[in-house]
Structure 1
């Protein structure tokens, strides 16, 4: 497609939906609402997360098991570059930072210790995605995670917050989930 075909009101709508799917993926993982990933991927999609390669259903099961010992997960998306190959196919490259409280068994770092104490891990990555539109909806057809770097943060680096803050949880008791229920936007 020519450069002029990349930019139109219709393409702005397409970009917004693709960006929404990228953000929806991050929120689904961070909030442990993994069923939402069925809205992000086509059922026959392929995901390559390095340590996991397979279908969306397989990824959901893998993520559910991996995140059992991850107390905190936060994906931070920055640059999202989208190019349309055709009316119903697009390339998307997304830069992101991920901060997680992990244990050696849930860490993606090689050579983790046998000590199952949790630690903070920060990684920089890129998602390289092929999006396709079927039945009027954009979803991921293939995803490859490309790591840039990762680091283990010192265990004593994280100060404790003062009393009074709302507690972070990854379940239905979180303040965001309570507000979603109150507003009627939670499915």
Structure 2
């Protein structure tokens, strides 16, 4: 493999990691992680919100806290690399678990301009296109998220840095 192709693959991987960190940051209420995905001069155009990365993270945090749990799934991803600029389209699926239901689901796309500055990729500008929103009824047989595991269980989901995904190594329950 030639060095140019290897450099391109590394850039693509690093760009994808930015998108995954963004989703994790929002779902774990890790504002520092979510904010690290943006350049300071970026603009986020996100449905009812248009503004700076700092203002967006504050807004998103308040929106996310309306739910007991959230998941931002990053799906299909295409990326046009042009030197230190990348133009990407990434499909997403968002699920929010409401205390009483119905739950909320949203689908759409992130249309991003990322830039590589000082050897690091971050979002320079983003337009979030919401293409569908859905109310989802609570299933009769599904356990409530807060009772799926005993509170003392180490694998219970947590919306902060106490979540098992931050543990190195992760600690499974014992039989």
Q: If the length of structure 1 is used for normalisation, what is the TM-score?
A: 0.77
1:142 aligns with 2:138: no
Q: Which residue of 1 aligns with 2:94?
A: 98
1:62 equivalenced with 2:51 (yes/no)? no
Query: Which string of whole-angstrom CA distances, capped at 9 and with x for unpartnered residues, describes residues 82-122 of structure 1?
Result: 001x311110100111111247xxxxxxxxxxxxx443111
Change (3 A) 1:160 1:141: same
**Alignment coverage as a number of residue pairs:** 161
Q: Which residue number in structure 1 is paired with residue 164 of structure 2?
A: 175
Q: CA deviation at 1:156?
A: 4.1
Stretches of structure 1 lacking an aligned partner (at least 5 in a row): 1-6, 104-116
How many Å separate the matches in 1 of 2:112 and 2:10?
18
TM-score of the superposition, structure 2-length normalised?
0.82
Equivalences for residues 116-155 of structure 1 within 5 A: 117-155=100-138
- The correspondence for 1:23, drawn from 9, 15, 20, is 20
| Superposition deviation, residue 68 in structure 1 | 2.4
Q: Is the 8 A contact 2:39 2:122 kept in 1?
A: yes
- 4+ runs of 1 displaced by more than 6 Å? none
Q: Which residue does the alignment assign to 1:109?
A: none
Task: Give the RMSD, CA atoms, in angstroms.
Answer: 2.2
Match of 2:30 among 25, 29, 33: 33
SS in 2 for 1:8: helix
What is the match of residue 173 of structure 2? none
Taking the aligned partners of 1:167 and 1:158, their CA distance within structure 2 comes to: 19
CA distance in 1, matches of 2:30, 2:161: 9
Structure 2: gaps (5+ residues):
171-175
Task: Give the 3 Å change call, closer, same or farther, for CA 43–158 of structure 1 in structure 2.
Answer: farther
Residue in structure 2 matched with residue 10 of structure 1 by the alignment: 7
Residues 49-107 of structure 1 show CA distances to partners (whole Å, capped at 9, x for unaligned) of: 111110001011112222222211101111110001x311110100111111247xxxx
In the alignment, the residues of structure 2 paired with residue 123 and residue 22 of structure 1 have an alpha-carbon distance, to the nearest angstrom, of 17
Give the aligned partner of residue 88 of structure 1: 84
Give the secondary-structure state (helix, strand or coil) at the position aligned to 1:9. helix
Structure 1's 47 and 157: CA in aligned 2 closer, same or farther, altered over 3 A? Answer: farther
